[in-house]
Structure 1
Amino acid sequence: MRWQPDRSSTVAEYAREVLEVFPQGRLVLGIDGVETPWPGEHGEASGREAFARDLAGAFVDAGTAAAAVRLGDFLAADGLPADPERLYDVAAFRERVLKPYRRGDDLEIPSGDAESETTFSPGERAVLVVSGPFLHLGELPALWHRSAWLQIPRAEAWRREGLRTRYAEDSPELVGWSGLVDDAFVRVDARKRATATFDLTDPEHPRRRFEDAC
């Protein structure tokens, strides 16, 4: 079997790359993928949110203050929207997270539990790692200094979502979500918009992919 770098090495390498490209200031990264924004039945994170959390940890290990934020904590409404660009309350995200972060103020970051938050003090040099689906639609791409697309075969993604959430794979919720993802891809191919792509088919050995390679 061909050797592959482990997850921590791949994530740390990407963190170093970002810090080298942007050697100063407060950065905002977007981590995109097809998984739902809903928490798991017992609070389990999706593969996308777990990757974002690990990436924030890699920045901290490199000596830079960092925090992970789930854009799924800023949904515009319960249930599925008719338009993927209306999934989030972007104004609330800007007001509660981006504005104080850019000023260097302490900010309260939701932890996935409506009654629980953590305080993040960014300082002059920091990275905010924002995760969620549809981060390359509408006004969102302009928010990211860099963005990554997490590639998972669609059938495998829905299998994992069926295990993680309270919904069966053929439930109306996941079937509806799949349709919303299809709609988003008709508008924008996030794989081409993102500045980095990682294959998470094997979550313990994510592989960097270069979509523009010949």
Structure 2
Amino acid sequence: MARWAPQETDTMAAIAAEVIAQVGTNRTVVGVDGQDGTDLERVAAGLVAGFQQHGVSAMAAAAPSSDVDILRADLVTPFRTTGAGAGVLVVHGHGTLAPGARGLWRWSLWVEQESGRLERRADVKVAASAVLDVTDPEHPRREWNDAC
């Protein structure tokens, strides 16, 4: 018997709702990082669509580097200083949750897939606000990595 799983749009809208509830949407910057081989651009686009379902203006940007100074100068500072009011920037790229860059994001998402579970980066996953399993990209699952 097939198991029901939420569609990508539903999962991403639920994650967007979580961000809205936890940190708000006033020039909020979200970082998306993940295992090698994960499609971070697709996840970021899905998250942008999730924010838009909630009536929140959002856009995605590829991280030009994992260097904290470059990320701050090229993406974070311009986004936070050129507008006012509600708006979310979703920055995606491998290395965006590296120790130096973690402090740039109001909220963050670590993306992984089943094939890499043995290679989990516990340090990054602990730092992330949430973990998303994209083993089935059409039906991604929010993971709850609690210690219980």
State the TM-score bracket (shorter-chain normalisation). 0.7 to 0.9
Distance in 1 between residues matched to 2:68 and 2:86, nearest whole Å: 24
Q: CA deviation at 1:155?
A: 5.7
| Greater shift in the superposed pair: 7-16 or 21-30 | 21-30
Matches within 5 A, 1:17-166: 17-35=18-36, 47-71=39-63, 74-75=64-65, 88-103=66-81, 105=82, 122-154=83-115
RMSD (CA atoms): 2.3
Amino acid at match of 1:129: V
* 1:128-164 Cα shifts (integer Å, max 9, x gaps): 10111122223211011111111113469xxxxxxxx
Q: Would you say the 8 A contact 1:6–1:204 is kept in 2?
A: yes
Helix, strand or coil: the match of 1:69? strand
From the superposition, tell whether residues 125 and 155 of structure 1 become closer, same or farther in structure 2 (CA, over 3 Å).
Answer: closer
Task: Indicate if the aligned counterparts of 2:97 and 2:124 stay in contact, CA closer than 8 A.
Answer: yes
Q: TM-score, normalised by structure 1?
A: 0.61
Q: Secondary structure in 2 aligned to 1:130?
A: strand
- Aligned mate of 2:125, from 191, 196, 200: 191
- Judged with a 3 Å threshold, the aligned counterparts in structure 2 of structure 1 residues 155 and 97 are, in CA distance, closer, same or farther, namely closer
Amino acid at match of 1:198: L
Cα distance change, pair 127–192 in 1 and its aligned pair in 2 (3 A): same
Distance 1:149 1:24, change over 3 A: closer
- Cα distance in 2 for partners of 1:56, 1:100 equals 19
Q: Percent identity?
A: 34
Displacement of 1:67: 0.8
Q: Cα gap change, 1:189/1:92 in structure 2, threshold over 3 Å: closer, same or farther?
A: closer
Deviation string 1:61-106 (CA, Å, 9 cap, x unpaired) is: 31111110111xx23xxxxxxxxxxxx3432332222112111x1x
Flag structure 2 segments of 5+ consecutive residues without an equivalent: none
* Preserved contact between residue 26 and residue 84 of structure 2 (Cα < 8 Å): no
Amino acid of the structure 2 residue aligned with 1:138: P
Q: Give the TM-score normalised by structure 2.
A: 0.86
Aligned residues: 146
